[in-house]
């Protein structure tokens, strides 16, 4: 059950401040101490906006993953950065992200960086707010690595990454992290085409060492690179298989899909808590507190407040910061309105 009814939370990422975007394109002009200071300042800004919105759960906004070397791939041995994307011009889409060649045995002797991120967040965040870490799962991470002789297909790459992700999750728990999201957007984007039982097995083996040791969740994502979805935005093909994901909470995006299939949340709650995306991160229409309250009431037709948390549809990294900030404030205000009505 949710630690508090109608909990307000976020998926993970938050927009970078403009100066961070600019600096990330000129990193060679900065020293290592400058970069460390920049990372800390960016996290302070993300914490500020989330705390000002009065969210129950916050993240570090993934503010430090602004460069290849600072991303998960930058921590992997045995790969070579492929800087040239297959398509470099034209409308933005996920095919403009490069894939990396595997050149040796995959390993991450320094971890994947998520522990440092969590420790920084814990040091900078005010007391009383719940902190959440988010880590991509091995199947999703494998999508940008090109199989080779040693790792002949995507599943072989996934199996090589699985223990690396597992170790990071265990290290997060040992560092005091009490809430972890493991996201596998590649699983939800391609659920209709893939062997879902095999995906569930990969997912559950990844989380196996931390289940029962912290609160776990996953976000069933349809993709949001440059604000665009990938694949069919339908949950029906994932169900009931993905209900076997061994997590405390499953998040579904509803706002950008005009609440299509909302009734499916009634199928989630007998097994898992549900977090519903009620803020459209792809639209610049700013939901009002009244809009939010109406959306929460719709969710309550299917689930009780103690099994429901509310959040944006996806990470906010692809939404302008002014809009992200206002959307979070209005989300919390609208949820508070419903809490008040229910006497919570």
* Interacting residues toward Zn ion by CB under 5 A: 221, 224, 314
Q: Sign of the C-alpha dihedral, residues 316, 312, 262, 137?
A: positive
Token pair 């011009």 in the structure block, residue: 89
Q: Which is nearer to Zn ion, 17 or 185 (CB)?
A: 185
- What are the φ and ψ backbone dihedral angles of 208, each rounded to 5 degrees? -50, -45
Provide, rounded to whole angstroms, the least separation between the CB of residue 185 and Zn ion. 6
Q: Which is nearer to Zn ion, 8 or 224 (CB)?
A: 224
Contact by Cβ (8 Å): 245, 218: yes
Contact by Cβ (8 Å): 170, 216: no
Provide, rounded to whole angstroms, the least separation between the CB of residue 136 and Zn ion. 11
Q: Which is nearer to Zn ion, 189 or 292 (CB)?
A: 189
Q: Which is nearer to Zn ion, 16 or 151 (CB)?
A: 16
Provide, rounded to whole angstroms, the least separation between the CB of residue 23 and Zn ion. 26
Provide, rounded to whole angstroms, the least separation between the CB of residue 220 and Zn ion. 8
Provide, rounded to whole angstroms, the least separation between the CB of residue 289 and Zn ion. 24
Provide, rounded to whole angstroms, the least separation between the CB of residue 254 and Zn ion. 12
CA distance 316 to 16: 10
- What are the φ and ψ backbone dihedral angles of 17, each rounded to 5 degrees? -60, 150
Q: How many CB atoms lie within 10 A of CB 329?
A: 17
Q: How many CB atoms lie within 10 A of CB 266?
A: 12
Q: Which is nearer to Zn ion, 102 or 220 (CB)?
A: 220
Residue 237 CB contacts under 8 Å (≥ 6 apart), including other chains: 191, 192
Q: Which is nearer to Zn ion, 223 or 305 (CB)?
A: 223
Q: How far apart are the first and last CA of the chain?
A: 15
């Amino acid at each position: 059950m949710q630690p508090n009814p109608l909990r307000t939370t976020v998926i993970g990422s938050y927009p970078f401040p403009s100066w961070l975007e600019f600096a990330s394109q000129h990193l060679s002009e900065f020293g290592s101490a400058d970069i460390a200071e920049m990372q800390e300042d960016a996290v302070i800004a993300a914490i500020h906006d989330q705390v000002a919105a009065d969210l129950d759960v916050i993240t570090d906004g993934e503010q430090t993953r602004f460069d290849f070397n600072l991303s998960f791939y930058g921590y992997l041995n045995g790969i070579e950065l492929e800087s040239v994307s297959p398509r470099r011009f034209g409308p933005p889409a996920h095919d403009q992200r490069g894939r990396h060649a595997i050149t040796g045995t995959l390993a991450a002797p320094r971890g994947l960086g998520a522990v440092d991120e969590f420790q920084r967040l814990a040091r900078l965040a005010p007391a009383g707010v719940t902190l959440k870490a988010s880590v991509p799962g091995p199947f999703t991470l494998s999508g940008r690595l090109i199989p080779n002789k040693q790792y002949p297909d995507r599943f072989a790459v996934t199996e090589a990454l699985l223990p690396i992700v597992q170790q990071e999750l265990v290290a997060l728990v040992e560092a005091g992290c009490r809430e972890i999201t493991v996201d596998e957007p590649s699983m939800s984007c391609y659920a209709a085409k893939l062997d879902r039982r095999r995906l569930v097995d990969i997912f559950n083996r990844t989380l196996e060492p931390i289940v029962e040791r912290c609160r776990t969740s996953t976000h069933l994502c349809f993709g949001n690179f440059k604000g665009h979805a990938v694949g069919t935005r339908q949950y029906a093909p994932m169900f009931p298989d993905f209900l076997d994901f061994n997590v405390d909470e499953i998040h579904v995006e509803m706002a950008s899909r005009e609440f299509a299939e909302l009734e499916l949340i009634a199928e989630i709650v007998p097994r898992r808590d549900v977090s519903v995306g009620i803020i459209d991160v792809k639209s610049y229409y700013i939901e009002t507190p009244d809009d939010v309250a109406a959306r929460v009431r719709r969710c309550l037709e299917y689930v009780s407040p103690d099994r429901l948390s509310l959040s944006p549809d996806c990470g906010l990294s692809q939404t302008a910061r002014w809009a992200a900030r206002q959307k979070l404030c209005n989300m919390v205000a609208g949820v508070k309105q419903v809490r008040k009505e229910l006497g919570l």
